[in-house]
Amino acid sequence: MAAAAVCSSYTSEVTERRGIPAASFVQDVQSYLSQSGLDVNSALAFLQERLQQYRVVEMKLLAQQRDLQAKIPDIEKCLDIVATLQAKKDSSEALVADFEVSEGIYSRAKIEDAESVCLWLGANVMLQYSCEEATALLQTNWENAKASLEVLVADLQFLRDQVTITQVTTARVYNWDVHQRRLRQATTPKES
């Protein structure tokens, strides 16, 4: 944990996005190592650990993104159904609908006057709403889901930038170490 504090204090701009720590790009590896008090292996281990943390966060964000991307079409479908029910409510003709009773089992219903609809809220809870209330609730849920998806996409982009910065920094530290070893080998006399 001391390495995390030292690495984050090395950058002049310490930022984070919704709990995701920003990676610091290392310009000068020598001064980075001397200021952090780490040797090359410890710095590489810290960077690899940070990379793993980013990967875990990325998996969680991708799962949330998949859930939202599946939820938005469902909300849109519900909005369309409520709008259709409202349109048919004013006309005298009945709406004929096929609905799924169980997996693979469908039934046909004739809906004549739909004053209200029942919406699943989750956790085995269903509430009855008037068509206007249902439309307002579904519209709010749709807007919230769209906004959450935009935030998630921005978070994922920020996270990918941090992964790239950490990978580049890891490569710079590793290459600096290889270069230093070659310099030491070249300056030490070879035994014949």
Per-residue pLDDT at 8 exceeds 50: no
Domain spans in the chain, listed from the N-terminal domain onward: 27-182
What per-residue confidence (pLDDT) applies to 190? 66
Predicted local confidence at residue 24, as pLDDT: 85
In this structure, which amino acid lies at residue 44? L
So what's the pLDDT on residue 1?
40
* 174 against 86, higher pLDDT: 174
Structure tokens at 135: 């439309």
Give pLDDT, residue 13.
56
Alpha helix stretches (DSSP H) within the chain: 2-10, 29-36, 40-90, 131-187
pLDDT for 142 beyond 60: yes
Q: At 127, is the secondary structure helix, strand, or coil?
A: strand
Q: What span, in angstroms and rounded, lies between the C-alpha atoms of 30 and 176? A: 8
Question: Rg of the Cα trace of the chain?
Answer: 29
Question: What does pTM read for this prediction?
Answer: 0.75
pLDDT tens digits along 15-34: 788 888 888 888 899 988 98
Tell me the average pLDDT across 149-157: 96
Specify the pLDDT at position 94.
83
Q: pLDDT per residue over 43-98, tens digit each?
A: 999 999 999 999 999 999 999 999 999 999 999 999 999 998 888 877 778 888 89
Under 8 Å between Cβ of 125 and 108: no
**3-state secondary structure at position 121:** strand
Q: What's the Cα-to-Cα distance from 65 to each of 137, 151, 165, rounded to whole Å? A: 22, 10, 23
Nearest CA to 22 out of 164, 183, 160, 162 is that of 162
156-170 mean pLDDT: 95
CA dist., res. 121 & res. 131, Å (int): 15
**CATH class of the structural domain 27-182:** mainly alpha
Place of tokens 């693979």: 104
- Kindly report, residue by residue over 109-136, the tens digit of the pLDDT: 988 878 899 998 888 899 999 999 999 9
- Average pLDDT taken over every residue of the chain: 87
- 4 pLDDT band, cuts 50/70/90, is very low
What gap in Å lies between CA 170 and CA 16, rounded to an integer? Answer: 20
CA dihedral 141, 139, 86, 129 (to 10 degrees): 40
Q: Which two tokens stand for residue 110?
A: 């004739």
